[in-house]
Amino acid sequence: MSNSTDRMLPILVGIDGSSEADAAALWAAAYAAKVRAPVRLVHAVPEGDWYGSAAFVDGGALERDLRAIGRKHLARAEAAIHHAAPEVSVETVTADGTIASYVADAGAELVVLGSRKSSALRDLTLGSNTLRVVTHAQCPVLLMRTAVDSADPARPIVVGVDGSEQSDRALGAALEIAHTLGSPVVAVNYWGFDPQAGLGTGFEDVDWVSIRAHEQHWLDTHVETVHEKYPDVALSTVSSQSSPTRGLRAMSASASMIVVGCRGRGAFLGTILGSVSQNLVHHADCSVLIVR
């Protein structure tokens, strides 16, 4: 994400006619108004081979109907944005193929998708447009949850910090969004020791007080440099001996957004997202921002 006050690249929103997508479009419009960015609404229509024999039987009527329905979804979302944020420039696009294939090549400031808590088993067996978009997008992807109180500005933006380049980018994105929205940020680091064979219960003599103090000092020091760019953002830190997955999922119950870094592309889903990101995509109670 850019630090510019006028964004040349659009905020891209996937539109599929769902209430979640409509809510994502309105959030994107409100954010675009604050950062003076255009919004692009995208509806994807399956490619020709998706229709199979139907294309021969109905002469392409199914595809025409789907395109007409998509145009209605786009028009409704565009009208809602013009009503809520008339100053925002809105473009509508009907893309052939999948939303994931479109965002892979489209330049965007941010991709916003309506989302809901899901089942990992369902996504692995049926496939998930959400996961494919996160995999292929070249910019941050925000998965919007539509919980009633998630828009409360008092609810913090929580960002996972582990010292990697990816988490540093996530921290910067979290602070930038918080600066724009007037939200507080909680930077969290979860640490611990994995059980190893042969160690038994040999941790009795470990100086846990010193370790906790060291971890807290590292976190406070690490985030301070990035925080200097956004001194108006209220920033607090949490260092805890827990797994990142368990800790961030617990934090999502009281957060407006969870922000995590993504390692980029890879041959397998676990390589692409990492287990923490995957788990949050499926199970977080609030919106999730995946940052490359």
The CATH number of the domain covering residues in 152-292: 3.40.50.12370
Instruction: Decide: 188 and 157 in contact? Cβ < 8 Å.
Output: no
Superfamily of domain 1-146: HUPs (3.40.50.620)
Model pLDDT for residues 112-152, shown as the tens digit of each residue: 999 876 655 444 433 467 888 888 899 999 999 876 455 67
Residue 170: its H or E element: helix 165-181
CATH 3.40.50.12370, the chain: domain bounds = 152-292
Token pair, residue 106, equals 């489209």
| The one-letter amino acid at 39 | V
Q: Flag the least confident range among 49-63, 64-78, 138-152, 197-211.
A: 49-63
Distance CA 96, CA 151 (A): 33
Query: CB-based burial of residue 135 (10 Å sphere; 0-12 exposed, 13-18 middle, 19+ buried)?
Result: buried
Phi and psi dihedrals of 90, rounded to 5?
-125, 135
Distance CA 2, CA 39 (A): 15
CATH 3.40.50.620, the chain: domain bounds = 1-146
Model pLDDT for residues 9-61, shown as the tens digit of each residue: 999 999 999 999 999 999 999 999 999 999 999 999 887 555 554 455 555 67
